[in-house]
């Protein structure tokens, strides 16, 4: 290409065209390399994530921890891949990191509650106060744990309602896990009449408890007089059962004791009051 001479302005079009070709070629190669880095890196990140999942599953790690850890690993690897691809395009990562940091600070200030829930979710995964399937009471509600997410925990109530609780509220409240231990104690209170033979009552309860095979022999069931109430003598009955048998045994044993009392002629008195009437003459 011949140079074009303009009075007062000399332009080397050949050099400009050559520089554009060189710049376009470099940009195209860098763009191609960035795309390759992104797709290859994404594939490697998925493979590593699957490998981490398999390793954790082989170690019988809690499903909550597996899901949480693999998510963090995948996001961390993808962030590294994206930064590597952007760097290949010639973008200065120092300024990019500073920009991301400033944006992160602004978002963090706006989403303090969400960050607190995220931190609480990390603590739940690390300390595992409950796991999927456990029946817990936390933040004033109770239900079976269905899923532990990054920001929330999902519970299902016995009447099949779904409750979503922020993790921050759970970690800031008292957590009662009814399935944390393999065994639980049932606490029953049985009232009988003051006229009934207490030894006979105790023996009837003891035989009825022993008849249920789900009641554990160790620890031994405690049967004792706990209170001389206004209308009845109250016995406490405290058998131990497996956690999964708690409600079934409690309901069945309550009914069985009532039927046994009917058979033995032992009365369960109604609340009663003595009424004294004084007649005053005119």
Provide the strand spans (E) within the chain.
Answer: 4-6, 9-11, 135-138, 141-148, 152-156, 162-166, 176-177, 183-185, 188-192, 222-228, 233-238, 240-242
Partner residues linked to 237 by β-bridges: 188, 223
- SS3 category, 153: strand
Q: pLDDT, tens digit, for every residue of 139-184?
A: 999 999 988 887 889 999 999 999 999 999 999 999 999 999 999 9
Q: Higher pLDDT residue, 63 or 3?
A: 63
User: What are the structure tokens assigned to 66, written together?
Assistant: 């597996």
248 pLDDT higher than 90: yes
Residue 98 confidence (pLDDT): 65
- Whole-model pTM? 0.61
Residue pointed to by tokens 């797709």: 39
Structural domains of the chain in order of their starting residue, each with its CATH number: 11-110 (1.10.287.1260), 130-177 (2.30.30.60), 183-264 (3.30.70.100)
**Cα–Cα dist 56/72, whole Å:** 14
Residue 1 confidence (pLDDT): 47
User: What are the structure tokens assigned to 63, written together?
Assistant: 């499903």
Partner residues linked to 154 by β-bridges: 147, 164
221 and 209 in contact (C-beta within 8 Å)? Answer: yes
Length of the chain: 282
Q: pLDDT, tens digit, for every residue of 178-212?
A: 999 999 999 999 999 999 999 999 999 999 999 99
114 and 168 in contact (C-beta within 8 Å)? Answer: no
Backbone angles phi, psi at 214, to 5 degrees: -80, -15
Provide the strand spans (E) within 36-177.
Answer: 135-138, 141-148, 152-156, 162-166, 176-177
Q: Higher pLDDT residue, 87 or 217?
A: 217
Looking at every residue in the chain, the average pLDDT score rounds to 83
Residue 149: CB atoms within 10 A of its CB come to: 15
**Cα–Cα dist 229/190, whole Å:** 11
Residue 237 confidence (pLDDT): 97
221 and 240 in contact (C-beta within 8 Å)? Answer: yes
> What is the mean predicted confidence (pLDDT) over 20-39?
72
């Amino acid at each position: 290409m011949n140079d074009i001479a303009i009075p007062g302005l000399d332009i080397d079009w050949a050099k400009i065209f050559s520089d554009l070709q060189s710049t376009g070629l470099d940009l195209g190669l860098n763009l191609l390399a960035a795309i390759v880095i992104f797709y290859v890196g994404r594939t490697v990140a998925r493979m590593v994530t699957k490998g981490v999942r398999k390793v954790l599953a082989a170690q019988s790690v809690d499903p909550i921890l597996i899901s949480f850890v693999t998510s963090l690993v995948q996001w961390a690897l993808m962030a590294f891949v994206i930064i590597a691809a952007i760097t290949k395009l010639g973008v200065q990562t120092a300024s990019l990191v500073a920009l991301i940091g400033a944006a992160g600070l602004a978002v963090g200030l706006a989403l303090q509650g969400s960050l607190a829930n995220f931190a609480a979710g990390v603590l739940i995964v690390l300390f595992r106060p409950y796991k999927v399937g456990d029946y817990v009471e936390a933040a004033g509600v109770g239900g079976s744990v269905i899923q532990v997410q990054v920001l929330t925990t999902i519970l299902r109530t016995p009447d099949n309602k779904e409750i979503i609780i922020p993790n921050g509220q759970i970690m800031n409240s008292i957590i009662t896990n009814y399935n944390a231990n393999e065994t639980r104690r049932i606490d029953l209170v049985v009232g009988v009449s003051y006229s009934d033979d207490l030894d006979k009552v105790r023996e009837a309860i003891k035989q009825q408890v022993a008849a249920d095979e789900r009641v554990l022999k160790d620890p031994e069931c405690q049967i004792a007089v706990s209170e001389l109430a206004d209308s009845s003598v109250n016995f406490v009955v405290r058998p131990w059962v497996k956690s999964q048998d708690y409600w079934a045994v409690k309901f069945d044993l309550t009914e069985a004791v009532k039927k046994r009392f009917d058979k033995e002629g032992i009365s369960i008195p109604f609340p009663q009051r003595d009424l004294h009437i004084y007649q005053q003459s005119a």
